[in-house]
Structure 1
């Protein structure tokens, strides 16, 4: 008796289960120890025999930057699993054509039942590498992360070459040729201005949303005080989300009667940011609410932002979720004629808080040189992208022109 044929819609169970990097079990013939793109072992600069070990060496380079670590971990395990399951080859055997196929896969991971699922904890059996198809910007983020991995593995003497680099070169050339002279328009200073920030009306709505948070129960008060301090920190110090996760209270330090926030930022760059009086008062308020001393000592390792559940540091991802909830509530407080600002608020993320803080410093009249130091911008031109004063005056002048229309009365 013949066994029934599988339904055309049935997804075959992969030989290698779709599991996170730390759990995936890789057969010896696919572990990359004999990958086709492996370099001469005499050149190896890292302690890695297999692809998974090489990826872990790469990720270790970013263990002090939690946000970057999570992005790279996500993209590395996506690529590794795709290579093993879809290509039946180790990551160290992928060639240029494979990477072209992978970029198409990112835009539509199929079969969806195998690759996609709701966000759950990594330990859950329901965990999947994707929620759904990636947007164009998300594909670009993935490409950048994977290219960093591949370049690292080449520099470390693990791989002979970077096949993804060939695709990136071709795509850049095609993009330039297809765009033609119009590319000059997209690179003007006007287009490159930072627009992902909250203006004064939107910021007032954010603070009003925080003030409207329920505070009858202890948990509500915990969340309110944390949200109040979070908003103050974003507005006054313009940190990156990952910095709030990785730093502790002792990063606030007094020097000759003045308070500074000492931060290790992007690329491990060390800097300090002045803590203005309003920020210092916000810090004191939050610490007193937590039952701590008014200001931190050098041995105070309390997280800057604490979980209301167990006092552990909140992750950058959780911080973004908290802000998203506040931004959505703030959008509802804007007037009906500000629909475009409501949409902007609903699209805002934690990094918008940094942009808002930098823009607010410039708008308050702080010297541009000092704002560059506060923002920790290496290039002054980066800071200048936040200056909107001339455009605002220009736009205000344009309001003098009105649109006459039959039957309408002049103002």
Structure 2
């Protein structure tokens, strides 16, 4: 069997979308090998979604070679079962600390995947296989057989768990508000961070949407302010801007030396580098958020909160926003429109309030009753 370094080199082209090795074609796929076919699929996405999908696809292609299987066209239902078992317990040679993808010490995993991560990996691979079947590159999708066994089951069985409780979110916000500003650079970073966290919590954007928007994405429409966003799949949408969000925008713009509110022709970057001129990448947004979470986690004595913050990422704030909006009483219809979900069922998995009420009601059942009747 090839070692991990050889396997990784073989599929490195996945990290170079748009190169001559990954042609984009109209209609059915024009790929001559698995790496090209998967790269074409990956070019349908961008930002964090593309990075996550690429990671899962690369792991699977490496595993195929490691097992000596002859490419995607030969994958069977039994191979999929073997891969699921592999994700739960990859060999030690596949595990390592986090390094850059081009570093020789890089490994596909830093630890075996949890059940939730295993499910996510199979969801991504199912989407990949379905795309390649639709593009007539593959004859069939073996993962469809796995899903077929669950026909009739609810599509979203699990409630979203990757969110911060209200008290934990308050700890994060307090940290953001108290960021030091002894130097000009520190003040620049603190003001940018304050605006970013306001944006992520009050508008529930995806990280790619934050990095790619301009100042005039905030617009006055029918007497009220809205955030006009180009979201997943290039879809246009608008999200209501609350007075709190509007105040955060004004504060950030005034700090940058701009007018309180953006004119319609202000197409400058919404979120700026510390110099205040250039925009920031999705990766920078991710690193800023992870840095704050790490700072808050280091201050916590509660193990659960500390571990939750260590795991949390930028997308957790989108989940947190939607979940807290539900708990605040926002209707499912408006919650779905703000989250920009195509189906109400997708938004419903964020609804935890009913479970909490159910839990409180059920807690009335007690072995030993209190009061006069209980003795």
Q: TM-score range by the shorter chain?
A: 0.7 to 0.9
Deviations 1:250-296 (A, max 9, x none): 32222244221112334444320111222122112223333444433
Match of 1:18 among 8, 11, 18: 8
Does 2:86 align with 1:105?
yes
Deviations 1:206-247 (A, max 9, x none): 221112222212332232112211221122212223322343
Match of 1:139 among 97, 118, 142: 118
In structure 1, list runs of 5 or more residues that go unmatched: 1-10, 25-30, 32-43, 177-182, 406-411
Other-structure match for 1:94: 75
TM alignment of 1:130-209, pairs within 5 A: 130-170=109-149, 172=150, 196-209=162-175
Distance 1:15 1:354 in 2: 36
Other-structure match for 1:69: 50
Distance 1:197 1:371 in 2: 16
Distance 1:365 1:14 in 2: 50
Distance 1:300 1:400 in 2: 60
Other-structure match for 2:313: 349
- SS class of match (2:9): coil
- SS class of match (2:137): coil
Other-structure match for 1:6: none
Distance 2:44 2:303 in 1: 44
Other-structure match for 1:388: 353
Other-structure match for 2:255: 289
Describe the shift of the 1:299–1:153 C-alpha distance in structure 2 as closer, same or farther (beyond 3 A): farther
CA displacement at 1:319 relative to structure 2: 3.4
Describe the shift of the 1:400–1:46 C-alpha distance in structure 2 as closer, same or farther (beyond 3 A): closer
Describe the shift of the 1:404–1:319 C-alpha distance in structure 2 as closer, same or farther (beyond 3 A): farther
CA displacement at 1:76 relative to structure 2: 1.5
- SS class of match (1:72): helix
Q: Provide TM-score, normalisation by structure 2.
A: 0.77
Other-structure match for 2:181: 215
| 8 A Cα contact 1:235 1:360, kept in partner | no
Does 2:23 align with 1:54?
no
Distance 2:220 2:197 in 1: 22
CA displacement at 1:21 relative to structure 2: 3.5
Distance 2:58 2:303 in 1: 40
Q: Provide TM-score, normalisation by structure 1.
A: 0.71
| 8 A Cα contact 1:15 1:85, kept in partner | no
Q: Could you say what the CA RMSD is over the residues aligned between the two structures, in angstroms? A: 3.9
Distance 1:15 1:370 in 2: 49
Equivalenced residue count is 356
| 8 A Cα contact 1:307 1:314, kept in partner | no
| 8 A Cα contact 2:98 2:110, kept in partner | yes
Other-structure match for 1:38: none
In structure 2, list runs of 5 or more residues that go unmatched: 15-20, 22-26, 371-375
